[in-house]
Amino acid sequence: MSAASCLQSEDQFLCSICLDVFTDPVTTSCGHNFCKNCITEHWNSNDQYLCPICKKVFNTRPKLKVNTFISKKVSQFRQEAQQKASSSSSEQQAAKPGEVPCDICKGTKLKALKTCLVCLISYCETHLEPHLTASRLKRHQLMDPVENLEGMMCMKHNKPLELFCKTDQTCVCVLCSVLDHKTHEFVPLKEEYEGKKAELGKTEAEIQQMIQKRQLKIQEIKHSVDLSKEDADREKAEGVQVFTALKDSVEGNLNELIETIEEKQRTTEKQAEDFIKELEQEISDLMKRSSEVKQLLLYEDHLHFLQNFPSLKAAPPTKDWTEVSIHPSSEGTVVRALTQLEKTLSKEMKKLFKAELKRVQQYAVDVTLDPDTAHPQLILSDDGKQVNHGDVKKNLPDNPERFSYCVCVLGKQSFSSGRFYFEVQVKGKTDWDLGVSRESINRKGQIVVSPQDGHWTIRLRNGNEYKARNDPPVVPSLKSQPQKVGVFVDYEEGLVSFYDVDAAALIYSFTGCSFTEKLCPVFSPFLNQGGKNSAPLIICPVNQTE
Asked if the model's pLDDT at residue 91 lies above 90, the reply is no
For position 409, what pLDDT does the model report? 97
| Torsion region of 200: left, alpha or beta (phi above 0 gives left; psi -120 to 50 gives alpha) | alpha
Question: Which range (52-56, 334-338, 369-373) has the least confidence?
Answer: 334-338
Query: Tens digits of per-residue pLDDT, 303-330?
Result: 888 888 887 777 777 788 888 887 766 5
Asked if the model's pLDDT at residue 383 lies above 80, the reply is yes
CA-to-CA distance for 361 and 544, rounded, in angstroms? 6
For position 8, what pLDDT does the model report? 46
Asked if the model's pLDDT at residue 408 lies above 70, the reply is yes
Q: Could you tell me the pLDDT band of residue 3, with boundaries at 50, 70 and 90?
A: very low
Question: Which range (120-134, 438-452, 457-471, 511-525) has the least confidence?
Answer: 120-134
296-to-219, 265, 304, 313 alpha-carbon distances in Å: 113, 46, 9, 11
CB 451 within 8 A of CB 471: yes
Which secondary-structure segment (H or E) carries 69?
Answer: helix 68-91
534: which DSSP letter?
-
CA-to-CA distance for 369 and 378, rounded, in angstroms? 11
CB 527 within 8 A of CB 431: yes
Averaged pLDDT for residues 233-259: 82
Calculated CA dihedral for residues 118, 121, 127, 133, nearest 10 degrees: 10
Asked if the model's pLDDT at residue 49 lies above 90, the reply is no
Query: Tens digits of per-residue pLDDT, 180-236?
Result: 888 899 999 889 989 989 999 999 999 999 999 999 989 988 998 898 898 889 888
- pTM for this predicted structure: 0.52
- Using a CB cutoff of 8 Å and minimum separation of 24, what contacts does 349-356 make? 350/504, 350/505, 351/242, 352/238, 352/242, 353/499, 353/504, 353/505, 353/506, 354/504, 354/545, 355/238, 356/506
For position 61, what pLDDT does the model report? 86
For position 120, what pLDDT does the model report? 78
Averaged pLDDT for residues 71-83: 73
Asked if the model's pLDDT at residue 2 lies above 50, the reply is no
Q: Which residues lie closer than 8 Å to 513 by C-beta, 6 or more apart?
A: 451, 456, 494, 495, 496
Please tell me which residue, 299 or 402, carries the higher pLDDT value. 402
Question: Which range (58-67, 81-90, 123-132, 163-172) has the least confidence?
Answer: 81-90
CB 154 within 8 A of CB 161: yes
For position 86, what pLDDT does the model report? 56
Asked if the model's pLDDT at residue 130 lies above 60, the reply is yes
Amino acid in position 343: K
532-to-13, 288, 430, 462 alpha-carbon distances in Å: 117, 87, 7, 10
The CA R_g of the chain, rounded to the nearest whole Å, is 55
